[in-house]
Amino acid sequence: MINKGKIHGLVSFAIFELTIVLSVYTIALKSLLFAAIYFIGCVVAAAVILFLFCAKCTTKNNCSHIYPGNLAQLFPDKLNERYRKTDYFGTGVSLTFVFIVPQFWLWSYKVLFIVFWVLSIIAILQINGFVCAKCENTKCAMCKKK
Ligand code: SF4
pLDDT single digits (tens) 85-115: 999 999 999 999 999 999 999 999 999 999 9
Share of the chain above pLDDT 90, in %: 84
pLDDT single digits (tens) 4-59: 788 999 999 999 999 999 999 999 999 999 999 999 999 999 999 999 999 999 99
> Which residues contact residue 22 at a Cβ distance below 8 angstroms, ignoring those fewer than 6 apart?
112, 115, 116, 119
Give the range of the structural domain holding residue 122, as residue numbers without chain letter. 4-131
In a domain, 140, yes or no: no
Report the predicted TM-score, pTM, of the whole model to 2 decimal places: 0.92
50, 53, 144: which to mutate for ligand 1, most atoms within 8 A of CB?
Answer: 53
Q: Which DSSP letter does residue 63 get?
A: -
In the chain, the number of structural domains is: 1
In a domain, 146, yes or no: no
133 C-alpha vs ligand 1 centroid, how far in Å?
Answer: 13
Other CB atoms within 10 Å distance of the CB of residue 49: 22
pLDDT single digits (tens) 111-120: 999 999 999 9
Atom of ligand 1 nearest to the CA of 58: 2
In a domain, 138, yes or no: no
At residue 134, the pLDDT reads: 85
Cα 30 to the center of its chain, rounded Å: 25
